[in-house]
Structure 1
């Protein structure tokens, strides 16, 4: 009987002692490397790379806004890590892990997505190490050479919609918008990136929101110059 082959995964040594590594060892041949970017897992047969970031460890600065919200800015170190990953890996995901995804975590995801706006990097939330391992395994299998093109396309679409819906509805309700206003905004602008980078006039042109509401949204994302 032919021996079943086990796909490899290359894990940076910074993750050697975490539960994520132990979960992956159950179904992959794990190899550790000091030369890969910190906190990354690379699935070579699927040509996909994951950067794992714990929300508590993300280096940021937080500014209190007049409307009682918070503006989260990534540190230069964090921005540098994102650029390094994008320059060396074409097919990459960032998984932000936190037991609870509340206002700070949602704002952090917005800041990360705004930072990688021009790239193809996708951002996904996770609540635990075991969930992170499951997410990576699912995507790696879908991206593998045996997966169909339709399956890959549906996975990409699902990942994008999952992040956008959760972040838009969660964060915007956190600054005082009603469910109806969140729905109007999402339908009018279409994507998270469009909302983050929209001017007040663009929001008024594409939605039925009041001028005061549009101004509140722009101020929240600090998109106004």
Structure 2
């Protein structure tokens, strides 16, 4: 995993992000290639087969701040739909310095709009948060790291569901299965609602 995290990864960044804080932060640790042929505000990590589209919350609606009749920007919706059709592992990062009521309303509307797609939504407060999200996901889904994480999750899940693990924990607490079942049944009988 240290090889994965210490290497300079190639990242394809849309030219619309050329002079942004996010691009500068990515450039410190990774090989950036700017492209005009990608969807606006996207970053693609080819080694992980992951793509991100970054949307500032104030650009997501036709009116900002939100007023009575508002809707999501149709041009943005079209761009996100194109992004979803091109990238199977896509993430939409919605950025706002503060996620107040208006921002959460827009975020929820985006979630509702793309609920039935494979697109995953993440909030981020600034460029640093955005870069951190992207790097964490990209590193976790890269081949050697993803295999290790998957193996550890399977072991943890197997141990969690194992009866032997439960019995071991109970014995560490000085109890056995019979004691737990007996105490649980007593508590349930105390909390039963009397019938009318």
Q: Kindly indicate whether the alpha-carbon contact (under 8 Å) linking 1:72 and 1:108 is maintained by their aligned counterparts in 2.
A: no
1:133 and 2:131 correspond: yes
Q: 2:140, 2:150 → 1: CA distance?
A: 6
The CA deviation at 1:57 is 2.1
**Paired residue total:** 146
Shift of the alpha carbon at 1:154?
A: 9.9
Structure 2 Cα separation of the partners of residues 81 and 19 of structure 1 = 22
Report if the CA contact (8 A) 1:142-1:152 is conserved: no
Q: Secondary structure in 1 aligned to 2:143?
A: coil
- Pairing 1:39–2:38 present: no
* 8 A contact 1:49–1:93 mirrored in 2: yes
Separation in 1, partners of 2:123, 2:84: 19
**TM-score of the pair, normalised by structure 1:** 0.60
Q: Is the CA contact (8 Å cut-off) linking 2:61 and 2:106 kept in structure 1?
A: no
User: Normalized against structure 2, the TM-score is what?
Assistant: 0.68
CA deviation after TM superposition for structure 1 residue 89, in Å: 0.5
Q: How far does the alpha carbon of each residue in 1:88-140 deviate from its partner, in whole angstroms, 9 at most, with x for none?
A: 00000011111100011101111111111111111111111111111101110
| 2:10 alignment counterpart | 8
Change in Cα spacing, 1:152 to 1:134, as seen in structure 2 (3 Å) is farther
CA distance in 2, matches of 1:81, 1:44: 20
2:61–2:70 CA contact under 8 A, matched in 1: no
Give the greater-gyration-radius structure (CA).
2
Q: Could you tell me which residue of structure 2 aligns to residue 166 of structure 1?
A: none
Pair 115,85 (structure 1): closer, same or farther in 2 beyond 3 Å: same
Residue 102 (structure 2) pairs with residue 109 (structure 1): no
> 5+ unaligned residues in a row in structure 1: which ranges?
65-70, 156-225
Any conservation in 2 of the 1:59–1:77 contact (CA below 8 Å)?
A: no
Q: What's the Cα RMSD here?
A: 2.3
Distance 1:86 1:129 in 2: 22
Contact 1:39 1:53 in 2 (8 A): yes
